[in-house]
Amino acid sequence: MAGEGEKEKQKSFKLLGILDIQNTPCAREAVLHGSVGSLFSGLSHFLATSRVRRSFDIGVAGFMLITLGSWFYCRYSNAKLRVQQRLIQDGMKNKVMYEGTSLDPTRKQNGEQFLNFFGLF
């Protein structure tokens, strides 16, 4: 079949025609968290007060707050992870570059090597 070898074009879901949920980092999880939080907050407010309009407003506000909070937290965590990965990569590059030279920070100094050779250090 001719279509099997070709990669199928994935459909993307755009929220309000603006935000591409599938290709934006953390957007999918944030919208899902916001949806569940909205349902929970609106329903719990309705069960407590029996006021429909106010419960709807609470649900919409809960959606916005939980979605934004979840998105910012996820983006912050991803940024921290990228910084840590960059530091590790730089450290590995420096280890390879300086290994075996006099600039190697893990290598002992000459005096320490001499004393260590005789078992004095």
Question: In this structure, what are the phi and psi dihedrals at residue 18, rounded to the nearest 5 degrees?
Answer: -115, -55
CA gap 19, 44 in Å, rounded: 29
Q: Name the residue among 7, 35, 37 with its Cα closest to residue 21.
A: 35
pTM for the full predicted model: 0.64
33 residue type, one letter: H
Distances (CA, A) of 53 to 69, 98, 100, 110: 24, 67, 72, 79
41 residue type, one letter: S
pLDDT band at 6 (very low <50, low <70, confident <90, very high): very low
54 residue type, one letter: R
Q: What is the pLDDT of residues 27-57, one digit of tens each?
A: 888 989 999 999 999 999 999 999 999 999 9
